[in-house]
Amino acid sequence: MKNIKDYNLDDLKKEFEELGEKPYRAEQVFMWLYKEKVKKIDDMTNLSKELRNKLKENFSICNYEIERKLISKDGTKKYLFNILDGNMIETVLMEYHHGKTVCVSSQIGCKMGCKFCASTGIPFVRNLTAGEIVEQIIAIEQDENTKISNIVFMGIGEPFDNFENVIKAIEILNNPKGLNIGARHISISTSGIVPKIYELADKKIQCTLSISLHATNDKKRSNMMPVNNAYPIEELMKACKYYIEKTNKRISFEYALAKDNNDNLEDAKELVSLLHGMLAHVNLIPINKIENGKFVKSTNNNIIKFRDYLNEHGIVATIRRELGSDIEAACGQLRRKTIEEKR
């Protein structure tokens, strides 16, 4: 049965027309789903019983169960959700001075194989649907009785490997009749799937693009991120420049600093050269240690020196605040541990 939350408003109207219903009925249902956040079709009380029965015959509503919820001493909350087919996905709620941010997953597992990521140890299962992506935000808003202001696609999975569903989820999140989260408050992070960077640029969606860069030459980057073998740095930078030119929006480059790997002064110099003249910001990330991982966090002194060098040479750089380190809040850690415990 089709999950009714998998449809953006335009597609839902088409579904209703096929059922012989007026388009405004789709708008009513859409608002029940995302404004009232009902869990059952029977709760849509301004619909006739006949229409509700028709909807129940054709659609289901995706609702998540909380498998585990961990709360950090810094206030970060890590959710492990059971979804309809018995798989589990991770979602993180973070609180900042500018509001509450949810880090969502876009896939069950990940194909990218980044050597510093905890989700690498879990085989890829499938893409999440648009509704399954959006439900992560709804479930947290209901559990916390709060309003989410920012969304980052930085959880498990490569968003651009599930491009159509991610874009459809953004359309639902952004719709004023949906969750009404401004596109400028939505960030998508990619490991560098070059064709989809061009596609996103042409769509002119006002979200923020983040690129997981992590190294300044192909040898180091391929060692950390196998995707670089398919889309090397030169191709990636060309796509990024196209995106900036097309959208006039700044790109955030993520750079996870690993000790004795990519954290020395030469790396900083190469990064300045690589990003020179681009509308760019560098987000320096103290790398998370994962079980059986080959990379360890750089020293605090090196991280600060790296940031200062970039800033002194015209590249705006900040250090990401570490959140949830005491509750395995990094991508994939909780899911991986829970699956291993159940074996």
pLDDT in tens, 235-294: 999 999 999 999 999 999 999 999 999 999 999 999 999 999 999 999 999 887 655 567
Cross-strand partners of 124: none
Indicate if 317 and 283 belong to the same structural domain: yes
Question: In terms of DSSP H, where are the helices of the chain?
Answer: 9-18, 23-31, 49-58, 130-144, 163-174, 194-203, 218-224, 227-230, 233-247, 265-275, 300-312, 333-342
Indicate if 281 and 325 belong to the same structural domain: yes
The CATH number assigned to the domain holding 151 equals: 3.20.20.70
Cα dihedral 234, 238, 239, 240 in deg (nearest 10): 100
Indicate if 332 and 197 belong to the same structural domain: yes
The CATH number assigned to the domain holding 44 equals: 1.10.150.530
Indicate if 20 and 138 belong to the same structural domain: no
340 is catalytic: no
Between CA 225 and CA 235 the distance in angstroms is 15
Amino acid sitting at position 139: A
Query: Which residue in the list 50, 103, 331, 341 is annotated as catalytic?
Result: 331
Indicate if 101 and 18 belong to the same structural domain: no
pLDDT of res. 117: 83
pLDDT of res. 263: 94
Task: Say whether 77 sits in a helix, a strand or coil.
Answer: strand
Name the residue among 311, 267, 263, 316 with its Cα closest to residue 285: 263
pTM above 0.85, yes or no: yes
pLDDT in tens, 86-125: 899 999 999 888 889 999 999 999 999 998 887 777 789 9
Query: Which residue in the list 90, 135, 158, 171 is annotated as catalytic?
Result: 90
Indicate if 151 and 14 belong to the same structural domain: no
Residue 333, token pair as written in the block? 């850690």
Place of tokens 């995707």: 227
Indicate if 166 and 302 belong to the same structural domain: yes
Structurally, how many domains does the chain consist of? 2
Containing structural domain, residue 45: 2-60
pLDDT in tens, 13-28: 999 999 999 999 999 9
110 is catalytic: no
Indicate if 115 and 101 belong to the same structural domain: yes
- What average pLDDT is seen over the chain? 92
pLDDT in tens, 162-205: 999 999 999 999 999 999 999 999 999 999 999 999 999 999 89
Indicate if 56 and 156 belong to the same structural domain: no
